[in-house]
Amino acid sequence: MRGNKRKIQYPVSLVLLVLFFSSCQEDDFGPTSALQVDHRLIRAWMKIPSEFEITHPPYAIEGIEITPSGVVLRLAVETATGKFVEDDDQYSDTLRAQNNLFIRKRFCPPSICIDSGTYHLQNDTLQFIYSDGYEEKYKRTRKNIVVTPPIQSELSATINTSHVTNDKIHSLPSAYVISFGSGKDTSRLQLHALLDNNYLIDIEIPQFHGTQSYPLGGSSQNSGALIYIGDDYLISYETDSLHIGTASISTFDLSTMMCSGTFEFDAARPDIPPKIFVKSIRNGEFNVPIRFPIRAKTQ
């Protein structure tokens, strides 16, 4: 067991796992033969969310496709069609699975992680139980089938001179508003958007009072940020007293659970002197779903 240093005993399952895969001579853990992947697993699987992963609206849909060569492809929703498709922007894992034992290699920026454990297949449900106790459950499905109605989630902007939009294949809508509270006065509103160029836009309005214009930066508590997502690092550009902007909320409809508006702002590296490495975000437009945060259950 991970973290247990009192015992130097090895469970039978771990011994069998080592013996089974000890004959594999590929040091790079590359694609394997079909004999090293249980043929019953070779297909598409949709993840069954745990109670802590269920969000509103309920379309956090993701999954995997296990290929005969042991490559594990990521699956997500194409928001325009509602189809369950391959998300080719994500890294692929590699899996070896036989006799209810598995080893899975995945990318953990900036390095590679190798997990192991047991798997169990019952009817149409596949369960992975990792050596640290973490569990994942999937149900049998197919690629390219419609799993949800088309999702309205649109955001576009110009960053300096480059036109960008939100990612169109994602387990959740890649652009959405989080509403903290209920009714028109939600007390706090956040706009999040994962863009198609590895950037993230984040706008926060701590005191939200419905459809109107809100200053970003300056003397206000409202903020705008543009964040670059690297393999193992983040670079953040933020509004401040010198770099300001505006976000205008034109629609906030709890009956349709949709929010729309416009935004623009300048943002700078907080750790760099003013006017150096400034990003200008212009012509921002959005029409996105409203979500509520996940709330932990109380005893």
**Which burial class, exposed, middle or buried, applies to 110 when counting CB atoms under 10 A from its CB (0-12, 13-18, 19+)?**
exposed
**CATH code of the domain occupying 12-141:** 2.40.128
91-150 tens-digit pLDDT: 778 999 999 999 999 877 667 889 999 999 999 999 999 999 999 999 999 999 999 889
Q: In this structure, which amino acid lies at residue 144? A: N
149-194 tens-digit pLDDT: 898 999 999 999 999 999 999 888 899 999 886 555 557 899 999 9
Collapsing DSSP to helix, strand or coil, 13 comes out as helix
- Pinpoint the alpha helices (H) of 10-55: 12-21
In the 8-state DSSP scheme, what is residue 18? H
pTM of the model: 0.74
> Which pLDDT does position 59 carry in this prediction?
52
Q: Where are the domains of the chain?
A: 12-141, 154-291
Is residue 126 within 8 Å of 138, Cβ to Cβ? yes
> Which pLDDT does position 60 carry in this prediction?
73
Is residue 48 within 8 Å of 137, Cβ to Cβ? yes
